[in-house]
Structure 1
């Protein structure tokens, strides 16, 4: 019997857009404890581009903004270029998914027919974790198989594309605020506020009752004003003069780069800085005196804490957050979508739509 096939984008290795191959692949067969999900929409994030380019390698020191999405002709394959060191190419990428469960084993039959979003971070013992679309086949396809415990049924009037903006960006932002224990009445400074994680962090911080100062290009300020930001700054503004030293309880910084030392200056004594990225450059200047003399806590976050994803489902169902869907593209136009993504002219998230058979 011929295997059943589906359309998928397969990333065949590190390199440029030529590594993204739209082709027929075998339909995944779910095993014990797994469900098969028909994908209606798949969100797109920085991580897919970074993984394809091997940006996570310790040998890379440039910002993600310095790349066109293309690899140099003489680029060597980086064995440590993925989230968990090596990436298992060929790989179907895609961390974000909204779809419908079409089959399940006897223990998960209650999910069949349900619309679900998938938890992309699957945490094991301690901080060990694997990621959908980075460590095993993800959502840039017509179907996907996952462990049933990571498929969350959701009751919402949002569209499939709107729900597909949530998992990675909002989960990452929620994990950062949860781990940093942001509380009502505190002041949080969010760098890179127009991106998927940054704009999610604004909403999630406001629902906690925090005062939010957001940094983004001035042309994107009108789109962020509707999220309830208390103070909007341009990324070229002088933070010390406009925010002040020792004035912020928490910095959410996925930008890093040259601005990093200033972030420590604006933190209060006993303040916290939380990060899950470094789009302006992973190697930063750190004056240890700013850290230890001010009792600052630096918090790195990748593995998601257990309450994070169930919290997000609740926020959506209760109408406490809203999606920021920038644009949709057909799945087969992924290269065009990634090129547009890298122009950084959008606010929120791009979503890919697979052909519906």
Structure 2
């Protein structure tokens, strides 16, 4: 049962500005409105006044209906938990930063004003170590491309580090970092191991590089040459040239001194998969563990032709990753508080310019490294303008 938010004296308006996704399709499906009802906190929830929300590739994929799990190209919604939970209109945006403006019953009113970062998952149950039916805010429930959002109080984690701005904190959001961390934990990555990271310039890729360093593993990045310097600054030991796939094995041998890659974290899929496995299997006598491939994306193609003999003869462990667990999210929050993770913020756009942000995000000619963050127009001067891109509206 929905309960009214506790009266704390906080001034929460009746209507807000938001960007609504009105259906599957192109950018024309994104509609900016200033008369959307502000959500009310249910029991155990808080209403957050949003100040920054990071963009993720899942925003585009959900809008375009690219979550088909079969080989046939159909427009469909993410539906791991059963029936599709993406209903229209929907407010997207998963990696939400803001301040608690109101609380529902059962939540301490002293939390009003607390700044925090959302664990973006919509969990199916209370289990801490497994998440079998993942969904997320911005897909199965309204997200942060708005001025206010209602979320579970126990998933809105307070971060009071004044040296970390709201836009920077949003760039550390769970959609990228929890996915990256679960890719590493699912593959049992250990200190000292060589880890090959594809898609290394994006949100999950840069998170993987940082998390490898936290775990003591050695990140070897695969990226385009024009992004190599920035990816190296993020923490990659070596940046391999993605534009030269025919020389990938030679590049790996040079980077590792002849040793095979221990584990691959892949965001590409498609025709790249077989060559990625080859980087782990070219010298099995030199290995101490089984080859491991974690995959959490398919930007190079949703279908892969793979000789299964390659997989079973070389005993390759392949694991698919979409979301992580409650325990992993809490560990990431602790590392953020300890400053073990650094924000990789590319730039900001106004909420009203979300269409332009989507175009910028999808433009492969941009040398984008790190996260694009969306800031509500009413908070632009404080939280967006300092990081505005030169061509931001």
TM-score, with structure 1 as normaliser = 0.90
Instruction: Check conservation: 2:122, 2:140, Cα contact below 8 A.
Output: no
- When Rg is computed on C-alpha atoms for both structures, the one with the higher figure is 2
Instruction: Check conservation: 2:179, 2:323, Cα contact below 8 A.
Output: no
Query: What is the Cα deviation at residue 329 of structure 1?
Result: 0.5
Q: Where in structure 1 are there 5+ consecutive unaligned residues?
A: 63-75
1:99 equivalent in alignment to 2:108: no
Match of 1:302 in 2: 322
Instruction: Check conservation: 2:42, 2:105, Cα contact below 8 A.
Output: no
Match of 2:234 in 1: 227
| Residues 170-193 of structure 1: CA deviation (Å, up to 9, x unaligned) | 121112112222110111000010
Instruction: Check conservation: 1:111, 1:153, Cα contact below 8 A.
Output: no
1:139 to 129, 134, 144: 144
Match of 2:294 in 1: 274
Q: How does 1:257-296 map to 2 (within 5 A)?
A: 257-268=270-281, 269=284, 270-296=290-316
How far apart are the structure 1 equivalents of 2:321 and 2:111?
A: 30
Match of 2:15 in 1: 5
How far apart are the structure 2 equivalents of 1:236 and 1:329?
A: 30
Match of 2:219 in 1: 212
Match of 2:361 in 1: 341
1:254 to 243, 267, 270: 267
Instruction: Check conservation: 2:199, 2:266, Cα contact below 8 A.
Output: yes
Match of 1:174 in 2: 181
1:162 to 159, 168, 171: 168
Q: Go from structure 1 to structure 2 and tell me whether the alpha carbon gap of 1:48 and 1:260 turns closer, same or farther (over 3 Å shift).
A: same
1:242 to 248, 251, 255: 251
Instruction: Check conservation: 1:51, 1:83, Cα contact below 8 A.
Output: no
Query: What is the Cα deviation at residue 105 of structure 1?
Result: 2.9
Match of 1:81 in 2: 77
Instruction: Check conservation: 1:61, 1:281, Cα contact below 8 A.
Output: no
How far apart are the structure 2 equivalents of 1:58 and 1:235?
A: 27
Number of residue pairs matched by the alignment = 340
1:29 to 21, 24, 40: 40
Match of 1:328 in 2: 348
Query: What is the Cα deviation at residue 352 of structure 1?
Result: 0.6
How far apart are the structure 2 equivalents of 1:347 and 1:83?
A: 30
1:190 to 197, 202, 205: 197
Query: What is the Cα deviation at residue 57 of structure 1?
Result: 2.1
Q: Where in structure 2 are there 5+ consecutive unaligned residues?
A: 1-12, 126-130, 285-289, 380-393
How far apart are the structure 2 equivalents of 1:154 and 1:246?
A: 41
How far apart are the structure 2 equivalents of 1:45 and 1:128?
A: 20
Query: What is the Cα deviation at residue 216 of structure 1?
Result: 0.6
Query: What is the Cα deviation at residue 307 of structure 1?
Result: 1.8
Q: CA RMSD in A?
A: 1.9
Task: Report the secondary structure of 2:234's partner residue.
Answer: coil
How far apart are the structure 1 equivalents of 2:118 and 2:262?
A: 32
Query: What is the Cα deviation at residue 124 of structure 1?
Result: 2.2
1:350 equivalent in alignment to 2:372: yes
Task: Report the secondary structure of 1:261's partner residue.
Answer: helix
Match of 1:90 in 2: 89
| Residues 24-81 of structure 1: CA deviation (Å, up to 9, x unaligned) | 200001111111000000110111111111111246778xxxxxxxxxxxxx8x3x33
Q: Go from structure 1 to structure 2 and tell me whether the alpha carbon gap of 1:274 and 1:115 turns closer, same or farther (over 3 Å shift).
A: same
How far apart are the structure 2 equivalents of 1:246 and 1:83?
A: 40
Query: What is the Cα deviation at residue 114 of structure 1?
Result: 0.8
How far apart are the structure 2 equivalents of 1:55 and 1:313?
A: 30
How far apart are the structure 1 equivalents of 2:88 and 2:171?
A: 25
1:16 to 23, 26, 32: 26
Instruction: Check conservation: 2:48, 2:101, Cα contact below 8 A.
Output: yes
1:40 to 26, 40, 51: 51
Query: What is the Cα deviation at residue 82 of structure 1?
Result: 2.8
Query: What is the Cα deviation at residue 246 of structure 1?
Result: 6.9
Q: Go from structure 1 to structure 2 and tell me whether the alpha carbon gap of 1:60 and 1:348 turns closer, same or farther (over 3 Å shift).
A: farther
| Residues 201-236 of structure 1: CA deviation (Å, up to 9, x unaligned) | 001111111111100110001111212311111112
